[in-house]
Amino acid sequence: GAGVSQSPRYKVAKRGQDVALRCDPISGHVSLFWYQQALGQGPEFLTYFQNEAQLDKSGLPSDRFFAERPEGSVSTLKIQRTQQEDSAVYLCASSSYAGGPGLEQFFGPGTRLTVL
């Protein structure tokens, strides 16, 4: 079956541009996560959705970052007025169960964002 897909795989933006990153989770998965992975670092949590509800956005670094999942499936992470420090790989993960500390998460290949 299809795994988690993300698009675009690569995005180059000029500083100050807005970008939108898409995540298609595994069909039927309830939970959806976004992580940010800077070069040479481990992924860091950004936000969590349970169906269409955004239950945790504690990891979003600034109010320039916004995520949505309006119908409880596809999710979009939007970054406004991009800055060079936003350059990273953005990973999406989904899980078939609702939130809890032991969730097995299935990761997409990520979107590599480069801000010039």
Partner 1 sequence: AQSVTQPDIHITVSEGASLELRCNYSYGATPYLFWYVQSPGQGLQLLLKYFSGDTLVQGIKGFEAEFKRSQSSFNLRKPSVHWSDAAEYFCAVGASSNTGKLIFGQGTTLQVKP
Binding site for partner 1 (CB under 8 A): 3-4, 31, 33, 35, 40-45, 48, 50, 55-56, 59, 91, 93, 95, 97, 99-110
For partner 1, give the closer residue by CB, 44 or 85.
44
Our CA angle for 16, 18, 24, nearest 5°, is 150
Min dist. Cβ of residue 109 to partner 1 (A)? 5
User: Which amino acid does the sequence have at 34?
Assistant: W
Is the Cβ–Cβ distance between 74 and 23 less than 8 Å? Answer: yes
Query: Minimum CB separation from partner 1 for residue 116, in Å?
Result: 22
Shortest spacing between CB 62 and partner 1, in angstroms: 19
Contact criterion met (CB below 8 Å) for 69 and 54: yes
Judged by beta carbon, residue 17 or residue 106, the one nearer partner 1 is 106
Residue number, 36 or 82, with CB nearest to partner 1: 36
The residue type at 11: K
Are 15 and 82 in contact by the 8 Å Cβ rule? The answer is yes
> What is the widest separation between alpha-carbon atoms in the chain?
39
- Smallest gap from Cβ 76 to partner 1, in A, equals 18
